[in-house]
Chains A and B, each alone.
Chain A
Amino acid sequence: MRTTIRRSASRGASAFVVRRLLLGVAQTVAVVLLVFALTEALPGDAAVALAGDQPDPARIAAIREAMHLDRPVHERLADWATGLLHGDFGTSLTSGRPVARYIADGFGPTLLLAALTVALLVPLGFGLGVLAARHEGGPVDRLVSSLTLAVYAVPEFALGVLLVTVFALKLGWLPPTAVGYGTDLLAHPAALVLPVLVLLSRPVCSLVRLVRAGMIDALASPYVAHARRYGVSGARVRYAHALPNALAPAAQQLARTIDWLLCGVIVVEALFVIPGLGTVLLNAVAERDVPVVQGLAVVFGVLTVVLNLGADVVARRLAPRAGVAA
């Protein structure tokens, strides 16, 4: 009796994962096609963008031919898609370097920033959220709530400029940018402090508020009251019974945040001169470097699908009754 239930539950779970994976593949393909269509729809192509303020028509035509942009759209898409199946992302139109190298080069700094941010985000977000929930309505709760709301309201660019002005230029504690450090950011840890602070600022606020709300709901629920009546200790109730229920939405929020961090946080990278994926994407769009844009779209698409899948699985495990939709 017991074993059959567990087996069917695990079969249900694996079917859920497979279904989610298939959906993810479809989503990635859709993203890639959409990106391809949108880049095609942009005014001007790589030849026009490269010609800049010397739009000599003969020169544009020559660039177009050299880049094979004169070939029909479907041929270029087909070529690229077959290359992708062999793990070949193609080559950049503007430099002729492999797109895979662009992605690999940009991934390092972005991953580093994302990892550091998440490493601080999780303890800080959950800690503050639980703290606020414990003191619901009290001065600590009100302080945390108003502070998170206030910080959340500040756009990243403004916060970045403010932090640089105060901590780098006025006080001279930290370097204002990571210019010239390239991908070797770990050798200059001081340069990472301000970017991570800016990246952390808004996600931490939303996470704290989610955890706090989930905890308060859970603590007010009948099963917690029941556990309390049985004389289970306060800490155990909080962390073993209430927290997991509060975690489910937070895990999904966390996945979205990691996704946001990995997909290149353009503002922060531009402000602090960090050559990550966001910078690569921005330049590639400006140059109409379609293969690079497509390569990044695939990577971003896959990342989004995998992270959300992970979050859904976690959420399902934490709060199976919540009935997470596949």
Chain B
Amino acid sequence: MHDERFPGLRRRGFLAATGAATLGALALTACGADGTDPGASGDDGTPKRGGRLRAAFAGGGASETLDPHLANLFADVARAKALYDKLADYGADLSARPRLAAKWEPNKTLDRWQVTLREATFHDGSPVTAKDVLYSYRRIADPEKAFRAKASLEPIDLDASRATGERGIEFVLKRPTAEFPNVLAAFGAYIVPENAGRNAADFDRKPIGSGPFRFVSFSPGRSAVFRRYDAYWEGAPHLDEVEFVVANEESARVNALLGGQVEYAHELNPTTARAHEGKGQIEIVRLRGSAMQAFCMKTDRPPFDDKRVREAFFLIADRQELVDGALSGAGVVGNDLFGKGYEYYAADLPQREQDLDRARALLKQAGAEKLKVTLDTSAVAAGFTEAASIFKDQAAKAGVTVEVRMGSKDSYWSDILDSGTLACYRSGAMPIEAHISQRLLTDSTTNATKWQHKDFDALYQQAQSTRDKAQRAAVYERMQRRLYTEGGFLIWGFADWILGTAKTVKGVETKAPANTLDWARFDKVWLT
């Protein structure tokens, strides 16, 4: 065999100068040269201990930090998730699952919640206590700072909340909140030890969390190495170490994966996925329902202040064409409602189809024939510019002139919040309740459709003060029905989130939308 004739044969050695030798070397790394077919081995299901997994993410460059409360990018969250825990996290259907909180119990009026922590320890051996939780939440809510989870924690009255024991916390809320566990699972609401992060550099030097991995090294924008934490409350990870590396260019991530420099590459293009799917070199993982894709109509100004125009626009969209064209087919069509497949999603409403005749009739009724609108878009997210030009063609068939305007990539989200009338929009996975509270209430901070209706707000309050889950689901259904008929979000699709892994990586969860517990989770992954 090659390895006997060339004892020094390595994958990247110049010795591997012929195709055959390269193939041999590839086989060596893939299956340990024992002659068995790697695909046929039956023990893929049994986790194996050991090894270092290198995962490539698009990152934030030299300004990255390990402060979990500053987590903003996917790379930040993946690192924070390895080092830290939250009290709860989202399951695949975006419902809150207990994590550091073993259980939670509301009072009758849903404005006081008793949370009991499980027995868990930080990496320095000290127990996770109620004080640490309160310290972490107060740090996030600090009025002087602008941590991302601050808005999510807003329902909690932190001055009135208190520790009822070593592991018991009573959260006092400003108003009834049936979906309080979602707050505990909020993006960035990580638990740090009391007094951590008093100095800005603390988290870069020696971050201490209660997560499955403990800190080894970190250099911003390059690499972060974490080691298995044996005393992790959920059981130690299979991997010895996980290393996060940063490669902003998608082609670099793919090349590094193909070249064996990393075992996990986050955020791949649909075209890359198609090129490598089923070819046997790498595994392609599609996380369905990760990214909502929409056009956002401002419902408070012409022409979209007329609900007939909004309905006409709903009917103009050929959703399958948009998914095929703008997402290269990597996704499913939407039905103008957020959260397909998530808890409380109104799945019974009929799927909306393109109906140009009815769209034209509606526009005529509304006195909006020969309508001209400007559609804002930007290269800020995958598929945005393509979606805009496809929709422009579809609208032309209904007699609507859509003028596409390209916006700046870096300020797009704040530009479209208040200005313009029609814009490309996207959202990551979050509970339907969070989507409503952040974007669809009169006082929502990011209400891009300007959907401001007192009766809709009242329904939301009603849902939040309804203890019974079935009754609550009925209220959410009513709200979604309203959005379906006359809302401002034309939600045409849900994009897959695409990952690539080496053949040696097992245990990657495929049903977890991005932002949920099992996404980018490395303590359940192993290397064969």
* A283 interface neighbour in B62, B251, B262, Cβ under 8 Å: B62
Nearest B residue to A61, CB-CB: B146
Contact B261 A176 (CB under 8 A): yes
Contact A273 B247 (CB under 8 A): yes
A286 at the interface (CB under 8 A from B): yes
Closest chain-A Cβ to B74's Cβ sits at a distance in Å of 11
B106 at the interface (CB under 8 A from A): no
Compute the total of residue contacts between A and B using a CB distance below 8 Å. Answer: 172
Contact with B along A63-105 (1 / 0, CB 8 A): 1001000000000000000000000000010111100001001
Contact B61 A283 (CB under 8 A): yes
B54 neighbours in A (Cβ, 8 Å): 180
Contact B26 A172 (CB under 8 A): yes
Closest chain-A Cβ to B105's Cβ sits at a distance in Å of 31
Q: Could you tell me the distance between the alpha carbons of A161 and B54 in the complex, rounded to whole angstroms?
A: 23
Contact B252 A271 (CB under 8 A): yes
Nearest B residue to A190, CB-CB: B12
A182 at the interface (CB under 8 A from B): yes
Contact B413 A55 (CB under 8 A): yes
A287 at the interface (CB under 8 A from B): yes
Contact with B along A91-122 (1 / 0, CB 8 A): 01011110000100110000000000000000
A48 neighbours in B (Cβ, 8 Å): 410-411, 414
Q: Could you tell me the distance between the alpha carbons of A62 and B445 in the complex, rounded to whole angstroms?
A: 14
* B410 interface neighbour in A43, A168, A174, A190, Cβ under 8 Å: A43
Q: Could you tell me the distance between the alpha carbons of A94 and B410 in the complex, rounded to whole angstroms?
A: 14
A282 neighbours in B (Cβ, 8 Å): 61
Contact with A along B43-67 (1 / 0, CB 8 A): 0000000000010100011111100
Nearest A residue to B281, CB-CB: A169
A283 neighbours in B (Cβ, 8 Å): 60-63, 221, 248
A residues contacting the other copy or chain, number (CB 8 A): 58
A272 at the interface (CB under 8 A from B): yes
Q: Could you tell me the distance between the alpha carbons of A136 and B4 in the complex, rounded to whole angstroms?
A: 52
B516 at the interface (CB under 8 A from A): no
- Given the known A-B contacts A66-B144, A172-B22, A172-B25, are A180 and B262 also in contact in the complex, defined by CB atoms under 8 Å? yes
Contact A173 B12 (CB under 8 A): yes
Q: Could you tell me the distance between the alpha carbons of A97 and B64 in the complex, rounded to whole angstroms?
A: 10
B259 at the interface (CB under 8 A from A): yes
- Given the known A-B contacts A52-B72, A96-B200, are A275 and B62 also in contact in the complex, defined by CB atoms under 8 Å? yes
A42 neighbours in B (Cβ, 8 Å): 408, 410
Contact B255 A270 (CB under 8 A): no
Interface residue ranges of B410-426 to A (CB < 8 Å): 410-411, 413-415, 417, 426
Q: Could you tell me the distance between the alpha carbons of A275 and B219 in the complex, rounded to whole angstroms?
A: 11
- Max chain A C-beta neighbours (<10 A), residue from B14, B54, B243, B249: B249
A58 at the interface (CB under 8 A from B): yes
Interface residue ranges of A223-239 to B (CB < 8 Å): none
- Given the known A-B contacts A53-B413, A59-B150, A106-B62, are A175 and B259 also in contact in the complex, defined by CB atoms under 8 Å? yes
- Given the known A-B contacts A49-B411, A283-B60, A286-B410, are A161 and B251 also in contact in the complex, defined by CB atoms under 8 Å? yes
A280 neighbours in B (Cβ, 8 Å): 61-62
Closest chain-B Cβ to A56's Cβ sits at a distance in Å of 4
Contact A49 B63 (CB under 8 A): no
B5 at the interface (CB under 8 A from A): no
Nearest B residue to A160, CB-CB: B251
- 16 more A-B residue pairs beyond the given contacts A44-B408, A97-B62, with a C-beta to C-beta distance below 8 A: A44-B410, A49-B411, A53-B428, A94-B60, A94-B63, A97-B220, A102-B62, A106-B62, A169-B255, A172-B259, A176-B259, A273-B246, A279-B248, A284-B61, A286-B409, A288-B410
A selection of 5 A-B contacts at a CB cut-off of 8 Å is A58-B445, A176-B256, A179-B261, A273-B246, A286-B410
**Chain A contacts to B: CB under 8 angstroms:** 42-44, 48-60, 62-63, 66, 92, 94-97, 102, 105-106, 161, 164, 168-169, 171-177, 179-180, 182-183, 190, 270-273, 275, 279-280, 282-284, 286-289, 292
